[in-house]
Amino acid sequence: MGQVIGIWIAAGLTLFIFSFLYKDNPFYKFAEHLYVGFSAGYWLIYTWDYTIKAMVIEPMVKHQPGAIMLIIPLFFGIIMLTRWIPSISYLSRWSIAFTVGIGSGLSLIGAIQGYILPQMKATLLPLYTGHWAASINNLIIVVGVVASLVYFYFSKEHKGMLGKTARLGIFFIMVAFGAAFGYTVMARMSLLIGRILFLFGNWLHLIKI
């Protein structure tokens, strides 16, 4: 019985969301607010159980080695809440600056190691491999990367050969944007197909899954 009730609730909320295709209405707003509320509640509990409790409170209560150093992040976390108190809200800037600095450093390292260096390695390809298809593929990759980089070279006016190369770079950039957009659309279509299969399969039992 619990499973049946869960399926009916899920189907009702799905139809509430789909009702926005007609126009904005109270049913859609109810489902939207319910989703946001549940998400906020979930992350609040998750943050308490897996971050504050597990990584701060329990180590300090159990007197684990090095637990005294947790006072520093605990202090910065507490003063970040002063954002809600106008008279001392300036204290929260310390925590925000510290967080942004760490995030920027980690993002920079992650971008270099995860994107830039692998992309450079993937671009350094032999133009002749002994197989015509692989050679053409490598040539397209190298030319596309070089042309795209030339497009972002703004120290000189794009005229002559430089301008033609930049326009070729625009073509490769548009192809990349189109592929990314198509991937996004297909991902959304997969979600839609999943919901339709749920409605016609698990809920109405008109098809077998």
The per-residue pLDDT for range 92-132, each reduced to its tens digit, is 999 999 999 999 999 999 999 998 899 888 888 998 888 99
CA dihedral for 64, 69, 71, 77, sign (positive or negative): negative
Q: Which two tokens stand for residue 209?
A: 């899954």
Residue 158 inside a domain? The answer is yes
How far does the chain reach from its first CA to its final CA, in angstroms? 20
CB 142 within 8 A of CB 123: yes
CA distance 192 to 13: 14
Percent of the chain scored above 70 by pLDDT? 100
Q: Is 24 inside any structural domain?
A: no
Rounded to an integer, the average pLDDT of 156-171 is 94
DSSP annotation of 87 reads G
**Assigned domain for 48 exists:** no
Q: Are 141 and 123 in contact (CB under 8 A)?
A: yes
Domain of residue 161: give its range: 125-209
Residue 29 lies in a domain: no
In a domain, 47, yes or no: no
Q: What is the pLDDT of residue 21?
A: 92
Q: How far apart are CA 35 and CA 87, in angstroms?
A: 34
Write down the pLDDT at residue 1: 84
pLDDT (mean) for 140-153: 94
Has residue 133 been placed in a domain?
yes
Residue 18 covered by a domain: no
pLDDT of residue 67: 87
Total of domains in the chain: 1
If we measure between CA atoms, which residue out of 41, 42, 20 comes closest to residue 30? 20
Identify whether 168 is part of a domain.
yes
The answer on pLDDT for 209 being more than 80 is no
pLDDT exceeds cutoff 80 at 168: yes
User: pLDDT at position 143, please?
Assistant: 95
pLDDT averaged over the chain?
A: 93
Instruction: Give residue-wise pLDDT tens across range 8-52.
Output: 999 999 999 999 999 999 999 999 999 999 999 999 999 999 989
Q: Is the pLDDT of residue 167 over 80?
A: yes
Rounded (10°) angle between helices 132-151 and 160-197: 110
CA pair distance 73, 130, nearest whole angstrom:
58
Contact 172, 165 (CB under 8 A): no
